[in-house]
Amino acid sequence: MTEPKGEHALIDWIRRRTGEAASVPIGPGDDMARVRLGEPDALLTTDTLLEGTHFRLDEASPRQVGYKALAVSLSDCAAMAAEPVAAVAWVALPEDARMTFAEALFAGLLDAAERFACPIAGGDVTSWTGGLAVGTSVLGQPAGIEPVRRGGARPGDVLLVTGRLGGAGLGRHLAFVPRVAEARRLARAANLHAMIDLSDGLSTDLGHLLRESGVGAEVDAPGVPVSPDAERAAEADGRTPLAHALSDGEDFELLLAVSAEDAARLARRPPLGNLPLSAVGRIVQGRGAVLLSADGTRAPLAPAGYEHFRGKGTG
Amino acid sequence: MTEPKGEHALIDWIRRRTGEAASVPIGPGDDMARVRLGEPDALLTTDTLLEGTHFRLDEASPRQVGYKALAVSLSDCAAMAAEPVAAVAWVALPEDARMTFAEALFAGLLDAAERFACPIAGGDVTSWTGGLAVGTSVLGQPAGIEPVRRGGARPGDVLLVTGRLGGAGLGRHLAFVPRVAEARRLARAANLHAMIDLSDGLSTDLGHLLRESGVGAEVDAPGVPVSPDAERAAEADGRTPLAHALSDGEDFELLLAVSAEDAARLARRPPLGNLPLSAVGRIVQGRGAVLLSADGTRAPLAPAGYEHFRGKGTG
């Protein structure tokens, strides 16, 4: 359930229309929905990859597209520190697609399914005159802890990020590792107040976390872990590596908020082996995020994600 | 999980690749997947509606498309006599779509969600350069009985069909009633050996049921309940009303197999009120289906559905 890029107006409209269903304790607007279904509750997320928007077939093989289609939903599981159980997949195939193309696509889905122990339980394959579209819905369950939501960050919390950010479009976005195991390791090592996966970029996804939590944040520019890909991307387009790290998206790393004590403990005993866990800022009272540069200047850190309805006077 | 039209080669390939996962007692190839998730098991299905293939925006309003998108997955729940619990929805929006269009689409989804007590728990909305594509995944649970599968029909069983068939493309396909309540009423009144919903047409969906059950069938032409829409469609194109009833698809009625004793009991005490429940034939040993005409002639009843890979020498 990648937060629809900028479709807040639509999400808010849906929330108003649906109200609260007793059978859905967590509804639209978090990484996964939580649904009452006996014991334990079920967690459910869905994601869509669209040709031209999320991948291009001249740079991505069908196998990579299949892998990514499941990995993005598994990343939502990670964002809740949940355990994936099974998935369903759907594919809208271009009319001229051959059987070998469809097989390669499903081989990629099955790669991710095997690697992250989330079997493909069913699906739907249809052809049409349009481009390639692939989606998955992943069913998960709480992994021995309460699912971590977006809305629990509190003033004084430290913001942490896994991995390094930016430049994922150079190729990393097709082969990233959803942080399913890492999220559960973090949840065992600390009390995670809030978490989200970085699908739309740190600036945008931090905005989701802040809005759901009703708080603000200060981000320390020197603390943001910049990927070597962000530096390559910066060389190519003249923007700064930091700008890429803050706004490129598709990193599928985790952004989390923990108490200062827990942050100190995690720094003393890094729970993720070689994967960096960087303190990038702190939660403050208020609204929105501010970027603090090394020289002490403050600037608003606005979400950089594309917003479909924003340009139309409706969002 | 509308059986992909003709993608048997692909489904078979996926089944061979996936093997059997202990956590997925019912995998690809039935109306819903069954997933171990505490008590009770979860049932999961996914379906996709594609512009040009499943609807045209010059004949269907966005609200109708939204309604249908959830109703097709609810029809899969009906086919297993299962109880829908919650759904997630995803939408690939054409770039030029306005907020009012998206709202109307979701209003249709929410209509179906409310009417069939299946709240929309989350979703994914993205825009792209392609046409409108809408999908849902429905999470369900067994409704006090074992989920009814496609593979349980036995020689001697009677084949029953709800409602009237054919000509759904004239408009019924946009406003059909998924037979969720009816399926559960049938399951309380009889031991349902096998069931499937008629998404691809009687001839095609019967083929799925027969293949999964490892049996054959005789269909009595005079017993097939022909919709008034099938007669209108026949007037327009010169084919017979029966041909439309057998092959048009998108009826979203139920086809089921019960013992002869149960069929007689259901005939004495019709459990569905005004909705017809028609005996259309019987299960026999062997493979495939035969159509028996009123004059006693026998002809093979071949699946009429479109098969994507068949024309390419791969299916």
Asked whether residue B185 falls in the same domain as residue B213, the answer is: yes
Q: Which residue among B17, B44, B93 places its CB closest to the CB of A308? A: B93
pLDDT band of residue A286 (cuts 50, 70, 90) is very high
Per CB-CB distance under 8 Å, the chain A contacts of B311 are none
Which member of B13, B50, B121 has the closest CB to residue A103? Answer: B13
Interval B176-230: pLDDT, tens:
999 999 999 999 999 999 999 999 999 999 999 999 999 999 999 999 999 999 9
Find chain A residues with C-beta within 8 A of B100's C-beta. Answer: 314
In a domain? residue B103: yes
Question: Is residue A315 in a domain?
Answer: no
Q: Using CA coordinates, name the residue in chain A closest to B55.
A: A128
Question: What per-residue string of b and e applies to B227-257 under the rule 16 or more CB within 10 Å gives b?
Answer: bebbbebbeeeeeebbbbbbbbbbbbbbbbb
Are A263 and A130 members of one domain?
no
In a shared domain, residues A21 and A129: yes
Residues of B in contact with A53 (CB under 8 A): 126-129
The verdict on A46 and A107 lying in the same domain is yes
B48 and A126 within 8 Å at the Cβ level: the answer is: yes
Q: What is the DSSP-derived secondary structure letter of residue A119?
A: -
Both A68 and A199 in one domain: the answer is no
Of A50, A103, A139, the CB nearest to B128: A50
Residue A166 has pLDDT above 90, yes or no: yes
Does residue B16 share a domain with residue B128? yes
pLDDT, tens only, A208-246? 999 999 999 999 999 999 999 999 999 999 999 999 999
Structure tokens at A51: 């040709």
Report the CATH number that the domain containing residue A189 is assigned in CATH: 3.90.650.10
Q: What is the pLDDT of residues B143-169, one digit of tens each?
A: 889 999 999 999 999 999 999 999 999
Q: What's chain A's Rg over C-alpha atoms?
A: 19
Q: How many CB atoms lie within 10 A of CB B270?
A: 12
Q: Are the beta carbons of B54 and B157 closer than 8 angstroms?
A: no
pLDDT of residue B19: 67
Residues in chain B: 315
Residues A137 and A230 in one domain: no
A31-67 pLDDT, tens digit each = 999 999 888 899 999 999 999 999 999 999 999 999 9
Residue A37 and residue B37: Cβ atoms within 8 Å?
A: yes
Contacts of B145 (CB under 8 A, 6+ apart): B81, B187, B188
Smallest Cβ distance to B124: which of A13, A46, A126?
A46
Together in a domain, A200 and A87 = no
In a domain, B44, yes or no: yes
The domain tally of chain B equals 2
Does residue B309 sit within a domain?
no
Residue B45 lies inside a defined structural domain of this protein: yes
Rounded to the nearest angstrom, the minimum Cα separation between B92 and chain A is: 8
Give yes or no for a contact between A29 and A196, defined as CB atoms under 8 angstroms apart: no
B300 assigned to some structural domain: yes
CB atoms B99 and A312 under 8 Å: yes
Do B180 and B254 fall into the same domain? yes
**How close does chain A come to B24, measured CA to CA in Å?**
6
Q: Give the CATH number of the domain where residue A38 resides.
A: 3.30.1330.10
Pair A121, A205 in one domain:
no
Could you say which of A142, A171, A206 is where a domain stops? A142
Most A CBs within 10 A among B5, B48, B56, hence the mutation to make, goes to B48
Q: Are residues A190 and A124 in the same domain?
A: no
Q: How many angstroms separate the CA of residue B104 from the nearest CA in chain A? A: 11
Is the pLDDT at B13 greater than 60, yes or no?
A: yes
**Is the minimum CB–CB distance between A7 and chain B shorter than 8 Å?**
yes
On chain A, the residues whose CB falls within 8 A of the CB of B138 are: none
Its domain, for residue B300, covers 158-304
Give yes or no for a contact between A138 and A118, defined as CB atoms under 8 angstroms apart. yes
Task: Please check whether residue B201 is in contact with residue B249, taking contact to mean a CB–CB distance below 8 angstroms.
Answer: yes
Domain check: are B247 and B177 in the same one? yes
- Looking at the domain assignment, is residue B151 inside a domain? no
DSSP state of B43: E
Residues of chain B positioned with their CB less than 8 A from the CB of A129: 52-53, 131
Q: Look at residue B2 and tell me whether its pLDDT is greater than 60.
A: no
Task: Report ipTM (2 d.p.).
Answer: 0.90
B112 contacts: CB under 8 Å, gap ≥ 6 = B66, B67, B69, B70, B71, B74, B118
Window 149-188 of B: residues touching A by CB (8 A cutoff) are none
Burial category of A116 from C-beta neighbours within 10 Å (exposed 0-12, middle 13-18, buried 19 and up) = buried
Whether the predicted pLDDT of B60 surpasses 80 = yes
* pLDDT for A305: 60
At which of A108, A142, A176 does a domain end? Answer: A142
Closest CB to A44: pick one of B23, B88, B92. Answer: B88
pLDDT range class, residue A315, cuts 50, 70, 90: very low
Task: Determine what percent of chain B is predicted with pLDDT higher than 70.
Answer: 94
SS3 (DSSP) at B190:
coil
Residue-wise pLDDT for A76-114, tens only, equals 999 999 999 999 999 999 999 998 999 999 999 999 999
Q: Hey, how many other C-beta atoms are within 10 angstroms of the C-beta on A185? A: 16
Please, which residues 63-102 of chain B have a Cβ atom closer than 8 Å to chain A? 85-86, 88-90, 92-93, 97-100, 102
Q: Indicate the residue of B17, B85, B90 with minimum beta-carbon distance to A23.
A: B85
Q: Is residue A252 part of a domain?
A: yes
Pairing verdict, β A288-292 and A216-220: parallel
Residue A280: φ, ψ to 5°? -110, -5
Domain's final residue, options B142, B177, B197: B142
DSSP A157: P
**B181 to chain A, closest Cα gap in Å:** 19
